[in-house]
Amino acid sequence: MSDIPRLFGTSGIRGEYQKKITLELAMDVARALAKYIGGKGKTVVIGHDTRTTGKIIEHVMIAGLLQSGCNVLKLGMVPTPTVGYATLKKQADAGIMITASHNPSQYNGIKLWNADGLAYKQNQEREIEKLVYEKDFNIVGWDEIGEEYDISSFKDEYVDDIIKVSEIDPNKPLKVVVDCASGAGSYLSPKALRQAGMNVITLNAQPDGFFPGRNPEPNSDNLQELMKTVKVLGADVGLAHDGDADRMIAVDEKGNLSDFDKLLTIIAKEFGGTIVTTVDASACLDTEIEKMGGKVLRTPVGDVHVAESINENNGTFGGEPSGTWLHPDFCMCPDGLLSGLRIVRAIQKNGKLSEQLDAIENYPTIREKITCDNNKKASVMEKVESDFKNEFDDIQEILTIDGVRIKFEDGSWVLIRPSGTEPYIRITTEGKTQAHLKDIETKSQNFLNKLI
């Protein structure tokens, strides 16, 4: 199937509405999914985030599913984890989430879920791409059209269940500021925290597909308001979500944005055992988990790779430094709402977030991205794989499971890999010393700039 065009990136299909994400494509993906899962009589859960194009894409996909004889369980506007969990709990055959996650308003996308709440794997995505490319669909007659059911009330069950599994203590109320980016978590994230007994202040909790308060990417530039609010109000923690709320980033009680790798490490320590993360995650996770007698396994970037490895290796917890965490004791769908509850629980148990973060060994890290047209990525990465190692003379290990990751003799490392969703080549550098970090970063940038 190598000659079949790729639709899926590292996290579903994404692109600008009416450019890559057309209504024709949405219809064909729905028909292809229906064919893939068996068509007539099968059941599919569907939900969307707050984007202005979400409902029209949903209508078209529902039509494609009904036309193929599938029944549809309609959640409405919900976070991505609610779709994954509903697919599992309702014993559906597949799930569809219509979202472009952290991308700007003009983008949208489609992500598919298995019956167990696990995102579609690459081989499954290739099968969908083949069916779309070949227009290989099964359309039923007028007397076999599927049925549509409203299951929007399932949201309440989802909230009850994430509160229960988080083991949050309602008798230790914390002051929590939550910034939902006007995205899909706008109703349910504050509701879950309040229902769990917390004192909640909200920012950008009005659903709005234009994302008027801030861009949906939860990074330092976009979370300045949250950081100031936490400090001014004397809150215990600030929580921020992306557009579909499968991610969570925290701000400590001093108003500082938490180091993403350290935040992941804090919750990983609550589980111990086998932790799964990606090639771009910090070595601080390995250091802390090894102290506990556990181990860390690494995968290519993308939550589906983390999820697969958790399943294959009986992992206790896993996630990416981006704030995309998987909780196998609940569901294999990344869940920013449950992640937020678990950070609150960790503060209740172990004290101030800033002190927990400071207790983790610090390795300075730089994450950058260099613009690169999608059609140039393959040729650029070929040169990276063949020539990048020649820039250094103290290499200990080279990994090519996802991009090129070079580990140096002192434990420092650099990773160059293409974005699966945007026109960038990403550079992640971690140094045991600031001087080594800067040296690696400068050489990496110069090397890529010459290529691109």
- In 20-66, at which residue ranges do the beta strands (DSSP E only) sit? 43-48
pLDDT at 283 over 70: yes
Strand partners, 15: 108
Predicted pLDDT at 1: 67
Residue 190: pLDDT band (50, 70, 90) is very high
CA distance 136 to 213: 43
How confident is the model over 258-271, as pLDDT tens digits? 999 999 999 999 99
Sheet architecture: strand order including 13-16: 13-16, 107-113, 94-98, 43-48, 71-77, 148-150
pLDDT at 276 over 90: yes
Looking at per-residue pLDDT, the higher value among 26 and 374 belongs to 26
Residue 9: pLDDT band (50, 70, 90) is confident
Q: Is residue 189 within 8 Å of residue 202, measured between CB atoms?
A: no
Predicted pLDDT at 164: 98
Q: What mean pLDDT is reported for the chain?
A: 95
Predicted pLDDT at 266: 97
Query: Virtual CA dihedral for 163, 166, 171, 173, nearest 10 degrees?
Result: -80
Q: What percent of the chain has pLDDT over 70?
A: 99
Predicted pLDDT at 420: 72
Return the structure tokens found at 342.
């678990």
What average pLDDT does this structure show over 392-414?
Answer: 91
How confident is the model over 80-125, as pLDDT tens digits? 999 999 999 999 999 999 999 999 999 999 999 999 999 999 999 9
Predicted pLDDT at 3: 81
Q: Is residue 444 within 8 Å of residue 429, measured between CB atoms?
A: yes
How confident is the model over 351-370, as pLDDT tens digits? 999 999 999 988 888 989 99
Amino acid at 427: I
10 Å CB burial of residue 16 (0-12, 13-18, 19+) is: middle
pLDDT at 422 over 90: no
Looking at per-residue pLDDT, the higher value among 412 and 3 belongs to 412
Looking at per-residue pLDDT, the higher value among 420 and 436 belongs to 436
For the chain, which domains are there?
13-152 (3.40.120.10), 156-358 (3.40.120.10), 365-451 (3.30.310.50)
What average pLDDT does this structure show over 186-214?
Answer: 98
- Transcribe 206-264 into DSSP letters: S--TT--SS-SS-STGGGHHHHHHHHHHT-SEEEE--TTSSB-EEE-TTSPBPPHHHHH
pLDDT at 300 over 70: yes
pLDDT at 421 over 80: no
CA distance 85 to 330: 8
How confident is the model over 10-26, as pLDDT tens digits? 789 999 999 999 999 99
CA distance 349 to 351: 6
CA distance 423 to 363: 28
Catalytic residue among 11, 68, 101, 412: 101
The yes-or-no answer on residue 419 being catalytic is no
Residue 2: pLDDT band (50, 70, 90) is low
Predicted pLDDT at 215: 96
φ/ψ (deg, to 5) at 280: -100, 10
How confident is the model over 31-63, as pLDDT tens digits? 999 999 999 999 999 999 999 999 999 999 999
For the chain, give the number of residues. Answer: 452
pLDDT at 72 over 90: yes
Which of 405, 431, 406, 402 has its CA nearest to residue 419? 402
How confident is the model over 128-169, as pLDDT tens digits? 999 999 999 999 999 999 999 999 999 999 999 999 999 999
